Amino acid sequence: MKSTATFLTILAAATALSASVNAAELRMSWWGGGSRHEATQAALKICGEKYGHTINPEFTGWKGYLEKLTTQLAGGTEADIMQVNWPWLPLFSFKGDGFADLNSFKDTIDLSQWTDAQLDAATMNGKLNGLPLATTGRVFMFNKTVFDKAGLDLPKDWSELIADAAVIQEKLGEDSYPLEVTEDNPVLIIMLIATQRTGKDMIDPATNRMAWSLEELTDAVKFYGNLVDKNVTRSWKSWASEGNIKLYESPKWSDGKIAGSYEWDSTYFKYADPLEGKGELVPVSMLKVDGAVTEGVYRKPSMVFSISKRSENQKAAAEILNCLLTEKEGIEALGATRGLPASKIAAQTLMDAGVVRPELVSANKIVMAGTGPTVSPFNEHPRIRESFKDAIEMYAYGEFSAEEAADEIIYNVNDILEKYDQ
């Protein structure tokens, strides 16, 4: 009896010692709102307890997160686990060496829960730099109530939408428009049109240069100009008259004066909530131009979880990531606070539990079903986006012709990309 007790004591001590040897203290950083913060902290507590690690949360709002992350990465003080926006991957890790290569942890992380395409999108120079959290894309959403009032069905292609604009203006007033093409949308719509007509993404993956010719881009710019001329959307100048505000904050949106937009599927409720009781927001299939060779869906991982290449506890961090994204307790605690999960088991678990609202699933299905070339993360490079937008603004204000705007865009995009030549 005495020997059994001694044996059990030694065993217990050894187990405790083993747990404390494996226990790691980690840091994790992310951006988001209140619900995401709460859910993530709860999930970290559960996963931390499961694996015997302590994870210190570091969370902020979206604004300033990129600046903070960049400063931390530059100073080598980044958290062990980081939430990284997908278009930032080439900024931090163009050669794939900015973050830990998660392929090294395939024994710890169940990578089979992601499709090859999803993993490819998060792979830089052959190294898996992050685990995609959700796949998102731009989708057209229309206020069906406004279209009903005008006696119209929701549009199925661009020519129908252009024809609808005249009817909406006639029946609902000259300050009514079926679509909002302002802020970032002139850029995204021009990209969409050029992609639909050419079948190519803006950046040629083979050369890492602008894929569209001057003529192709000029035609797409003109298409945007035509949308303004035909009152499909209000002009840039008219939009700017409201000051620097978001569409979903504008009374023109909530009052139905603007009856549609082209937004991330995951932001559906941001636009639907202001219409509550006044309108029904319906996501529709991609609108196509005549002669389109593809739907040109703009689909990409919304964000990834990455592990610091400097972390001394990479394996522990990998265990936590696996728990958050592929294990039941982590998935349930994290919920849908980062959109419909990219991880198959996470998506299924949340849908079975009824956590993901059907409207979000419906918008996401359109994105997932759409056809189009793989989108380069350079499309959202801050300088590329800014120079594209500046040129289109000049066009919108009559300072540039369509051809001059296209020429300016091509020159600037190539100039920026040139800096990334290996």
Residue 391 CB, nearest approach to another protein (Å): 11
Each residue 366-405 as x (binds another protein by CB under 8 A) or -, in order, gives: ----------------xx--x---x--xx--x-x------
Q: Of 215 and 399, which has the nearer Cβ to another protein?
A: 399
Phi and psi torsions of 327, nearest 5° = -110, 140
Applying CB under 8 A, does 34 fall inside the site for another protein?
A: no
Q: Of 22 and 72, which has the nearer Cβ to another protein?
A: 72
**Distance between CA atoms of residues 193 and 189, nearest Å:** 6
Buried b (16+ CB within 10 A) or exposed e, 12-25: eeeeeeeeeeeebe
**Distance between CA atoms of residues 396 and 400, nearest Å:** 8
Q: Which two structure tokens, joined as six digits, stand for 196?
A: 């639909």
Residue 385 CB, nearest approach to another protein (Å): 10
Q: Which helix (H) or strand (E) holds 131?
A: strand 131-143
Asked if 196 contacts 293 with a C-beta cutoff of 8 angstroms, the reply is: yes
Which residue in the set 86, 142, 239, 378 belongs to the binding site for another protein (CB under 8 A)?
239
Q: Of 10 and 382, which has the nearer Cβ to another protein?
A: 382
Applying CB under 8 A, does 251 fall inside the site for another protein?
A: yes
3-state secondary structure of 107: coil
Applying CB under 8 A, does 237 fall inside the site for another protein?
A: yes
Q: Of 209 and 389, which has the nearer Cβ to another protein?
A: 389
Which residue in the set 39, 43, 47, 73 belongs to the binding site for another protein (CB under 8 A)?
73
Interface region with another protein, contact rule CB under 8 A, candidates 91-99, 164-172, 290-298, 347-355: 91-99
Neighbouring C-beta atoms of residue 59, cutoff 10 Å: 17
Applying CB under 8 A, does 17 fall inside the site for another protein?
A: no
Applying CB under 8 A, does 71 fall inside the site for another protein?
A: yes
Q: Of 126 and 243, which has the nearer Cβ to another protein?
A: 243
Residue 39 CB, nearest approach to another protein (Å): 28
Applying CB under 8 A, does 361 fall inside the site for another protein?
A: no
| Closest alpha carbon to 89 in 300, 308, 304, 307 | 304
Residue 63 CB, nearest approach to another protein (Å): 11
Which residue in the set 238, 285, 371, 414 belongs to the binding site for another protein (CB under 8 A)?
238
Interface positions, 126-185, toward another protein (CB under 8 A): none
From residue 409, alpha-carbon distances to 24, 37, 389 in Å are: 49, 39, 9
Applying CB under 8 A, does 23 fall inside the site for another protein?
A: no
In the chain, the amino acid numbered 386 is E
Residue 327 DSSP label: S
Applying CB under 8 A, does 422 fall inside the site for another protein?
A: no
| Closest alpha carbon to 109 in 131, 84, 126 | 131
**Distance between CA atoms of residues 147 and 315, nearest Å:** 54
| Closest alpha carbon to 281 in 294, 292, 293, 269 | 269
Question: How much of the chain is helix, strand and coil, in % rounded to 5?
Answer: 55, 15, 30
Which residue in the set 67, 107, 352, 421 belongs to the binding site for another protein (CB under 8 A)?
67
Interface positions, 113-132, toward another protein (CB under 8 A): none
Residue 181 CB, nearest approach to another protein (Å): 15
Region of 372 please: left (phi>0), alpha (psi -120 to 50) or beta. left
**Distance between CA atoms of residues 305 and 131, nearest Å:** 5
Chain contacts with another protein (rule: CB under 8 A): 66-67, 70-71, 73-74, 91-92, 98, 236-245, 251, 382-383, 386, 390, 393-394, 397, 399
